[in-house]
């Protein structure tokens, strides 16, 4: 961002600035502070009547201009407002001057003392300062951390060390008071339009970001579910392999990784190569084929339902994205928030909040606090950490000594805890499901098979001087997990309420 360093201003350097005749010579009747970044002076000048003047230090809308909206007088004004009230109310505005093109100064005279109110139009570092007649600082609205300039009461006023250039879209003159009431009304109308557009974009931006993130999430989910569907479609092949192994059992022997047999169920008996578990005996290999057949057949209907639901949600999301791009008013966003498709399910509530301006799009830093919770087939709660700090908190603050603790062997990944309130043995099915989660949420996910260590939480210790989540553990055992096991993968769908 281009910047320029202004010279030190002097009283002689101040140049009078033409302004609305209702300002110069007017008495300050009241001082209001409607929000943290603006002050309103209510004035009256004989022959010109009452007027209100807004001094804003907003990062985009900093300006001094006449406003036609009434400011509410709060019961407990901020300290800055109290200072201005005790010193400026009843005073007369003697002049408006430019110390620099981005530094405006109002001089306000009381019977025995003068005050200088300096407005710094400096983008994100804009500020409003009250000085005494000699230019010493009395109080500042904001105290930005600038090592080159400390805003200490009693110190001589020094201008900002850097003046940030404003965008070309808004002339600097529009940040000064208009020359008369008609021009002031037109100028306030332009600022209202800019602020409405900025407010609309403040809602549209996070909503678009949320929709993009949801679209990517659904694309990943659909890819996973379609992979499960492809696996389910192979159920009949596993059944036929089991039948062929039964027919040709005499060809099987320990140590074979595969076997080629004639397919007696098809004309011409073409050869078929069947993969085997080299460490299993013939009966175990036959049982494995029928087990895979039953698992994939059972998963079929469930997978089809998930595919249909995911596609419906993706279509609803696309319709919302298309409708969002046609909206250009806050009322349109409110209407969309009230009319989100039911297919979005639980995702409708956060999107509606973003459209209404009640929330902002989540970022990685805003991820939901607390571990992910899933329910095992045996009804036990499984907790999964999703960051290093969350792993540390899960293991050493949430888990009890009797709970079961799991982690992918030798790989960075999530800490997984199975709650064990009864201090019972870990059921085999729950063990494999929790281990599947530990393998899935580790850097070994792409390898297909991961060895997972498990022990009770009381045997886990922090690494002295290590990063959050770094641990050592003892009395552990391990289990080998096949990440392609569709039956174990179903633990992802069982939410623990």
Mean pLDDT of 116-132: 94
- Least confident segment among 8-12, 314-318, 466-470: 8-12
**Listed range (263-277, 301-315, 422-436) with the worst mean pLDDT:** 301-315
Residue 373 and residue 154: Cα distance in Å, rounded?
58
Q: What local confidence, expressed as pLDDT, does residue 55 receive?
A: 96
**Mean pLDDT throughout 415-426?**
91
Q: Is the pLDDT of residue 144 over 70?
A: no
Of 96-105, 176-185, 324-333, 416-425, the range with the lowest mean pLDDT is: 324-333
Of 312-316, 354-358, 363-367, give the range with the top mean pLDDT: 312-316
Nearest CA to 476 among 409, 381, 419? Answer: 409
pLDDT recorded at residue 77: 84
Residue 2 pLDDT: 44
Please, which pLDDT band fits residue 10 given cuts at 50, 70 and 90?
Answer: very low
Cα–Cα dist 127/158, whole Å: 12
8 pLDDT more than 60: no
Q: According to the model, what pLDDT value does residue 32 have? A: 93
pLDDT at 422: 83
For 40, 245, 257, 439, the CA distances from 273, given in Å and listed in that order, are: 85, 11, 10, 30
Per-residue pLDDT at 4 = 45
d(CA 265, CA 244): 8
* Closest to 474 in 3D by CA, of 491, 458, 494: 458
Helix axes 330-338, 282-324, angle to 10 degrees: 140
Q: Give percent of the chain with pLDDT exceeding 90.
A: 46
For the ranges 9-23, 93-107, 367-381, 456-470, the lowest mean pLDDT is seen at: 9-23
Strand pairing report for 460-462 and 449-456: unpaired
Among 3-7, 441-445, 447-451, name the one with the lowest average pLDDT: 3-7
Q: What is the pLDDT of residue 168?
A: 82
Q: What pLDDT was estimated at residue 46?
A: 94
Q: How confident is the model at residue 6 (pLDDT cuts 50, 70, 90)?
A: very low
User: Once rounded to an integer, what is the mean pLDDT over residues 406-412?
Assistant: 92
pLDDT confidence tier of residue 455, bands split at 50, 70 and 90:
very high
Give the pLDDT score at 307. 85
Q: Which domains does the chain have, with CATH numbers?
A: 3-179 (2.30.310.10), 202-365 (no CATH), 367-493 (no CATH)
Per-residue pLDDT, 75 = 64
Helix (H) or strand (E) holding 387: none
Average pLDDT, integer, range 430-455: 91
| H/E element, 264 | none
CB–CB of 192/67 below 8 Å?
no
Asked whether residue 134 carries a pLDDT value surpassing 90, the answer given is yes
Mean pLDDT of 468-477: 90
Instruction: Flag whether pLDDT at 229 surpasses 90.
Output: no
Cα–Cα dist 332/320, whole Å: 12
Query: Closest Cα to residue 438, out of 406, 463, 467?
Result: 406
22 has pLDDT over 60: yes
pLDDT for residue 158 is more than 60: yes
Rounded average pLDDT over 211-228: 85
Average pLDDT over residues 310-332: 87
pLDDT score of 431 more than 90:
yes
The pLDDT of residue 367 is above 50: no
Res. 396: pLDDT tops 90 = yes
- With 90 as the cut, is the pLDDT of residue 438 above it? yes
More confident site: 68 or 351:
68
- What is the average per-residue pLDDT within 275-290? 90
Q: What's the N-to-C CA distance of the chain in angstroms?
A: 49
Kindly state the average pLDDT of the residues 183-209: 87
Q: What is the pTM of this model?
A: 0.52
Whether 497 shows a pLDDT value over 60: the answer reads no
CB 190 within 8 A of CB 170: no
Which residue is associated with the tokens 């993009």? 212
Report pLDDT for 484.
Answer: 86
């Amino acid at each position: 961002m281009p910047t320029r360093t202004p010279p030190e201003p002097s009283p002689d350097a101040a140049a009078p600035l033409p302004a609305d005749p209702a300002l110069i010579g007017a008495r300050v009747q009241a001082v209001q502070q409607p929000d943290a970044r603006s002050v309103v002076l209510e004035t009256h000048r004989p022959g010109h009547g009452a007027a209100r003047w807004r001094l804003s230090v907003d990062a985009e809308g900093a300006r001094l201009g006449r406003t036609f909206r009434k400011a509410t007088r709060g019961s407990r004004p901020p300290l800055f407002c109290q200072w201005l009230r005790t010193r400026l109310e009843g005073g007369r505005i003697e002049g408006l001057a430019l110390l620099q093109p981005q530094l405006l100064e109002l001089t306000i005279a009381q019977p025995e003392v003068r005050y200088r109110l300096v407005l710094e139009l400096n983008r994100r570092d804009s500020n409003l300062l009250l000085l005494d007649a000699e230019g010493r600082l009395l109080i500042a609205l904001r105290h930005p951390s600038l090592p080159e300039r400390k805003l200490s009461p009693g110190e001589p006023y020094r201008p900002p060390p850097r003046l940030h250039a404003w965008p070309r879209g808004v002339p600097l003159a529009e940040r000064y008071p208009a020359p008369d009431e008609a021009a002031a009304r037109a100028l306030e109308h332009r600022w209202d339009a800019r602020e409405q557009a900025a407010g609309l974009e403040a809602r549209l931006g996070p909503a678009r970001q949320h929709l993009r993130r949801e679209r990517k999430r659904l694309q990943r989910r659909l890819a996973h579910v379609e992979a499960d569907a492809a696996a389910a479609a192979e159920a009949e092949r596993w059944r036929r392999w089991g039948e062929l192994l039964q027919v040709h059992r005499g060809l099987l022997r320990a140590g074979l990784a595969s076997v080629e047999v004639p397919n007696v169920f098809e004309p011409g008996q073409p050869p078929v190569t069947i993969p085997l578990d080299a460490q299993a005996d013939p009966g175990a290999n036959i049982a494995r084929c029928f087990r895979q057949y039953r698992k994939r057949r059972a998963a079929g209907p469930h997978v089809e339902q998930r595919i249909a639901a995911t596609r419906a949600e993706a279509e609803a999301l696309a319709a919302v994205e298309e409708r969002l791009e046609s909206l250009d008013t806050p009322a349109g966003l409110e209407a969309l928030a009230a009319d989100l498709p039911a297919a979005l399910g639980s995702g409708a509530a956060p999107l509606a909040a973003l459209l209404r301006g009640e929330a902002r799009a989540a970022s990685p830093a805003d991820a939901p606090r607390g571990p992910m919770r899933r329910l095992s087939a045996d009804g036990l709660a499984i907790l999964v950490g999703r960051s290093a700090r969350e792993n540390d908190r899960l293991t050493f603050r949430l888990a009890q000594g009797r709970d079961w603790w799991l982690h992918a062997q030798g790989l960075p990944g999530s800490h997984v805890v199975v709650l064990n309130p009864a201090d019972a043995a870990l059921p085999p099915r729950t063990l494999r499901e929790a281990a599947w989660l530990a393998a899935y949420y580790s850097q070994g996910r792409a390898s297909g098979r991961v060895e997972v260590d498990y022990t009770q939480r009381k045997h886990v210790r922090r690494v002295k001087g290590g990063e959050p989540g770094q641990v050592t553990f003892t009395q552990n055992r391990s289990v080998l997990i096949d990440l392609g096991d569709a039956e174990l993968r179903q633990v992802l769908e069982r939410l623990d309420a």
